Amino acid sequence: MARHDLMSTRAGNDRDDSGRVMLMVLVGTAVLALLATAVLTINPGNVLARTPVVGESCPSTRLSNTSVSIVAAPEIAPVVEQVVSPMRAKKLPDGHCLQVTIASQNPAETVAGAQILPLERAPNLWIPDSSLWLSRIEQWKPQPITAFASSPVVVGTSAAVVSSLGWDKKPPTWDVALAGARPVAAPNIAQDAAGLSAELALWQALGKGEKAQTALAGAVLAGLRAGAPTRESAIADAQADASTAPLIPLTEQAVQQANGDVADPKLVAVYPKGGLPSLDYPVARVEASNLTPEKQAAIQAIADTLSSPASRAIVRKAGFRDTGGSTASATGGVPATVTPLKPPSQLEIKAVVTQIVLLSAPSRIQVVIDMSGSMQADAGNGMTRSKFAAVAAETAGRLMPDVAQVGLWGFARDLRGKADRIEFQKMDELGAEDGKITHRDAVNRDMDAMSTQLGGNGTALYSTAVAAMRDMKELYDPRAGNSVVLFTDGFNVDPGGPSLRVTVKKIKKLYDPKKPVRLICIGVGAEADIDALKKLAAAGGGEAFLAKDPGVLPEVLFKVMSRRPTA
DSSP output for 49-112: GGSPPTT--SS-SSS-EEEEEEEE-TTTHHHHHHHHGGGTTPBPTTSPEEEEEEEE--HHHHHH
pLDDT for the residue numbered 567? 42
Statement to judge: residues 274 and 211 lie in one domain: yes
Cα separation, 34 vs 37, whole angstroms: 5
Q: How many residues in total does the chain contain? A: 567
Q: DSSP secondary-structure letter at 422? A: E
* pTM exceeds cut of 0.85: no
- How many C-beta atoms surround the C-beta of residue 410 within 10 A? 31
CATH number, domain at 295? Answer: 3.40.190.10
- For residue 321, what are the CA distances in angstroms to 72, 76, 147, 285? 17, 12, 12, 22
pLDDT for the residue numbered 566? 46
- For residue 322, what are the CA distances in angstroms to 82, 146, 149, 151, 315? 15, 12, 5, 8, 6
Q: Is residue 325 part of a domain?
A: no
- For residue 374, what are the CA distances in angstroms to 257, 380, 381, 452, 489? 61, 14, 17, 13, 7
Statement to judge: residues 291 and 231 lie in one domain: no
Q: Which of 365, 301, 262, 278 is nearest to 92 (CA)?
A: 301
pLDDT for the residue numbered 10? 54
Cα separation, 111 vs 226, whole angstroms: 27
pLDDT for the residue numbered 37? 31
Statement to judge: residues 423 and 288 lie in one domain: no
Among residues 264, 291, 317, which one ends one of the domains?
317
Which residues constitute the domain of residue 512?
A: 361-562
CATH number, domain at 557? Answer: 3.40.50.410
Cα separation, 283 vs 131, whole angstroms: 9
Cα separation, 330 vs 234, whole angstroms: 25
Statement to judge: residues 257 and 230 lie in one domain: yes
What is the number of alpha carbons within 13 Å of residue 561 lying toward its C-beta?
32
Q: Is residue 44 part of a domain?
A: no
Q: DSSP secondary-structure letter at 290? A: T
Statement to judge: residues 270 and 285 lie in one domain: no
Cα 157 to the center of its chain, rounded Å: 22
pLDDT for the residue numbered 560? 64
pLDDT in tens, the chain (567 residues): 445 566 666 544 443 444 443 333 333 433 333 333 322 222 333 332 333 433 456 766 666 788 899 999 999 999 999 999 998 878 888 888 888 999 999 998 999 888 887 888 889 999 999 999 988 887 888 999 999 999 999 999 999 999 999 999 999 999 888 877 788 888 778 789 999 999 999 999 999 988 888 788 777 777 776 566 788 899 999 999 999 999 999 999 999 999 988 889 999 999 999 999 999 999 999 877 678 888 888 999 999 999 999 999 999 999 999 998 888 776 667 888 889 998 888 889 888 888 787 777 778 999 999 999 989 988 777 788 898 888 888 877 776 788 889 999 999 999 988 899 999 999 999 989 888 899 999 999 999 999 999 998 889 999 999 999 999 999 999 888 899 999 998 789 999 899 999 999 999 999 999 999 999 999 987 788 999 999 999 999 999 988 776 666 666 766 666 555 544
Q: Is residue 4 part of a domain?
A: no
- For residue 98, what are the CA distances in angstroms to 95, 434, 518? 9, 62, 58
- How many C-beta atoms surround the C-beta of residue 241 within 10 A? 17
Among residues 227, 254, 278, which one ends one of the domains?
278
Residues sharing a CB contact under 8 Å with residue 567, sequence separation 6 or more, in sequence order: 513, 514, 516
Strand, coil or helix: 136: helix
pLDDT for the residue numbered 56? 56
Amino acid sitting at position 444: N
Q: Is residue 484 part of a domain?
A: yes
Helices (H), 157-240: 159-165, 174-178, 193-205, 210-224, 231-239
Q: Is residue 51 part of a domain?
A: no
Statement to judge: residues 181 and 286 lie in one domain: no
Task: Label the pairing between strands 151-158 and 278-279.
Answer: antiparallel
Q: Is residue 305 part of a domain?
A: yes
